[in-house]
Chains A and B, each alone.
Chain A
Amino acid sequence: MTDLSQSPAGAAPEPRKHGGSLLEQTPRTKRRNAAEKRFRAYGIAAIAAGLVMLLILVTTIVGKGTGAFQQTFVTLEVELLESKLDKKGERNIEDIKKVTTFGYAPIIKGAMEAAVAEYGIETSLKAKELAGILSKDVAAQLRDYVIANPDQIGQTVEFRFLASSRVDGYLKGRVTRDSIVNDKNISAEQLDLVDALAAAGVLEKTFNLDFITGADASDARPEAAGIGVSMLGSLFMMLVVLALALPIGVAASIYLEEFAPQNWLTDMIEVNISNLAAVPSIVFGILGLAVFINYMHLPTSAPLVGGLVLTLMTLPTIIISTRASLKAVPPSIRDAALGVGASKMQAVFHHVLPLAAPGILTGTIIGLAQALGETAPLLLIGMVGFIASNAPETIADGLLAPNSAMPAQIYEWAKRADPAFYERAWGGIIILLLFLVTMNTLAVILRRRFERRW
């Protein structure tokens, strides 16, 4: 060490650069501190704005959507008249099936009249108007029951019927006496009847499991519509996506990251994968339409095709996140493995991949969540629209039979005219969001768990 750092003795002392007391801030320091304070305030304001938006979003969704989970039901004693349902009295199932839902109308009217009489409700409504407070789904429900239990014909059975969407809306506050002035579907007298039946305990609003498990219903019966079948459609699509996108994506990433030579071809592939991630999803939809349906003649509206299209869409996401997590594994681990004589593949599969697994899993789950919420590509392969289907009974059915998906179902409900469907759209959003939140939470938990191993 030399003594060059000390100023030569005898030279005139230079004015000190940082003069003044440390106890008071210089103007420059004050300006810098003020700038920092301002920046922090901006940050807090930005976060607060985000939180307010989120709060508004959540309260709106919950406020508008919870109604869908409740439904108005009417409990009625129904006399299954043999004279109407099985005139020959032979209990021949073919004869019973010949009676259409139209033939059940008198039975329903009779049951309503009986209820009105039993509870002593005074009303000037005719039998047809009495039955008008029930859902149009009721006749089908009765017919299904009778066909399943022909031995019950002639008996009196208690049923829990859906009320019509207007009645349901009246109990939920969506329909008021003012709003029905021009409504031909329901009258003020019918609402009086509803009030009386509600007072008698015949008509009540309860939790509606059918919304979560049931199938979509046509325009005239919003009260019967459920999201369950399209949930299965989404599930089958996700199975296809998981089965295809995960192995293909991980294999492609491992090859590109660990084995591929660095040349213009791999550079091109890399750029194009990044570009694919930014391609609008509807483009993948039209690609799926052209390739899977028009060229390969796979069935329209099938979750298999939906899954294939979403696979194309999810692949770039999975490849990018997998490559990032492979890159994040320190090269010293590869060196260590190669140094003890592991082959390249052993080094990757024994050491690099396990360390990258949490990142790969997270990327995959986030990719799946993205695919789960995707609607646009489904538009083009016929998975949006009223798809009259019941829950698939086999896995092949689940993959190939026409179905919808949760976001497509929500879109479909939101565009229908009846406000009762609108409420169901919000309800569907709640279910979809629950799925997405669950999946993202799972991603976080998995990442934490794997990372904490060492």
Chain B
Amino acid sequence: MNDMTLMDKTVDTQKIKIAAKDVNVYYGDTHAIKDVNVEIEDNTVTAFIGPSGCGKSTFLRCLNRMNDTISTCKVKGDILLDGEDIYDKRVDPVQLRAKVGMVFQKPNPFPKSIYDNVAYGPRIHGLAKNKAELDEIVEKSLRRGAIWDEVKDRLDAPGTGLSGGQQQRLCIARAVATEPEVLLMDEPCSALDPIATAQVEELIDELRSQYSVVIVTHSMQQAARVSQKTAFFHLGSLVEFGHTGTIFTNPEDPRTESYITGRIG
């Protein structure tokens, strides 16, 4: 990738969607995330990069409280979504997760039909009044997931019967079907081949127009290709956060530079 294009990838100052302040996460006695402060903007793709075990996935899962399912996990500090603390006692994680959708590392469609996979979220949140509306949501979501043309003739076929890349795009369609405002992606392409990866990356760029996208990735090229902002995590700390172009061409911290040039990680 040409360094000059990276430099050009600047973004207008956007509204802050998620603000994390002094976030610490503990798994039992392990201190997994240390004093992370980060501001994630709307209509922006933010990439979290860093070596394995640096806490980037953990931090991502804090953003929609998926860590609640792990009983030993404790989160301290504030994470504000549109200025509201998502760890407030009054917040129901179910409502939060409808607003903050998630796509996982391994494509995990439900063992149901393609239609039911996408329709499940709208159904449980009561987003459709009747079958026609639901059909509409399903079609819109599948189109946004850039998979409509491939599956429109077999919506009744099982979602698990699709190829890996199609499954992942189906999962993205499923995530956007609940009309979230933020989309979290935990290494969405790590189980996909290069062609499927390219399709998903293209999709991520399109999704930016409607959502704030946060993506965890092991691939620095991918971060450089799809994101406008990049955060580099190392050993549980946020080392550096800034414009993707700056991080990749002119990092401030020597650890970032070492990682990007391949000397650590």
On A, residues with C-beta under 8 Å from B are 261-262, 330, 332-343, 346, 350-351, 355, 453-454
Contacts and interface: CB of A to CB of B under 8 A. Distances in A.
Contact of A355 (B64, B106, B111, B125): B111
Given A261-B71, A334-B69, A454-B158, A341 B109 contact: no
A334 B102 CA distance: 13
A330 B158 CA distance: 17
B94 A343 contact: yes
Contact of A340 (B71, B106, B111, B174): B174
Contact of A341 (B69, B94, B106): B94
- The main secondary structure of chain B at its interface with chain A is helix
Given A338-B66, A341-B121, A332 B104 contact: yes
25 contacts: A261-B71, A330-B108, A332-B106, A332-B108, A333-B111, A335-B69, A335-B104, A336-B171, A336-B174, A337-B120, A338-B66, A338-B69, A339-B101, A339-B104, A340-B98, A340-B101, A340-B177, A340-B178, A341-B95, A341-B97, A341-B121, A341-B124, A346-B124, A454-B111, A454-B158
A336 B108 contact: yes
- The main secondary structure of chain A at its interface with chain B is helix
Contacts of B104: 332, 335-336, 339
Given A341-B95, A342-B94, A343-B94, A336 B121 contact: no
Query: Nearest 7 pairs between A and B by C-beta?
Result: A341-B98, A332-B108, A340-B121, A339-B102, A341-B97, A336-B108, A454-B111
Contact of A336 (B94, B98, B109, B177): B109
B108 A333 contact: yes
B199 interface: no
B108 A338 contact: no
Interface in B118-141: 120-121, 124-125
B104 to A, nearest CB: 6
A83 B64 CA distance: 96
Nearest to B108: A332
Given A337-B120, A342-B94, A350-B124, 11 more contacts: A261-B71, A332-B104, A335-B108, A336-B171, A338-B97, A339-B97, A340-B177, A341-B94, A341-B98, A341-B124, A454-B160
Contacts of A335: 66, 69, 102, 104, 108
B166 to A, nearest CB: 16
A341 B126 CA distance: 12
Contacts of B160: 454
Interface in B70-118: 71, 94-95, 97-98, 101-104, 106, 108-111
Contacts of A339: 64, 66, 97, 101-104, 175
A46 B126 CA distance: 60
Contacts of A342: 94, 120-121, 124
Nearest to A339: B102
A192 to B, nearest CB: 74
Contacts of A351: 110
Q: B102, B103, B160, B178: which has the most chain A beta carbons within 10 Å?
A: B102
Contacts of A338: 66, 69, 97
A261 B72 CA distance: 10
Q: B120, B160, B161, B178: which has the most chain A beta carbons within 10 Å?
A: B120
Contacts of B109: 336
A332 B124 CA distance: 19
Contacts, number: 68
Nearest to A262: B71
Contacts of A340: 97-98, 101, 120-121, 124, 174-175, 177-178
A341 B175 CA distance: 9
Contacts of A454: 111, 158, 160-161
A14 B97 CA distance: 64
A58 B124 CA distance: 55
Contacts of B175: 339-340
Q: A339, A343, A346: which has the most chain B beta carbons within 10 Å?
A: A339
A347 to B, nearest CB: 10
Q: B94, B161, B178: which has the most chain A beta carbons within 10 Å?
A: B94
A342 B64 CA distance: 13
Interface string B133-175: 0000000000000000000000000101100000000010011
Contacts of B98: 340-341
A47 to B, nearest CB: 36
Contacts of A336: 104, 108-110, 171, 174
A384 to B, nearest CB: 47
A99 to B, nearest CB: 71
Contacts of B121: 340-342
A355 to B, nearest CB: 7
A334 B97 CA distance: 13
A98 B230 CA distance: 103
Contacts of A333: 108, 110-111
Q: A332, A334, A340, A355: which has the most chain B beta carbons within 10 Å?
A: A340
Q: B103, B111, B178: which has the most chain A beta carbons within 10 Å?
A: B111
B232 to A, nearest CB: 25
Nearest to A343: B94
A335 B66 CA distance: 8
A340 B176 CA distance: 9
Nearest to A263: B71
Contacts of A350: 120, 124
A342 B110 CA distance: 13
Contacts of B97: 338-341
A261 B109 CA distance: 28
A359 to B, nearest CB: 14
A122 B161 CA distance: 84
Contacts of B64: 339
A43 B237 CA distance: 56
A346 B108 CA distance: 17
A335 B101 CA distance: 11
A343 B95 CA distance: 9
A350 to B, nearest CB: 7
Contacts of B171: 336
Contacts of B110: 333, 336-337, 351
A428 B95 CA distance: 60
B97 to A, nearest CB: 4
A451 to B, nearest CB: 11
Contacts of A332: 104, 106, 108
A259 to B, nearest CB: 11
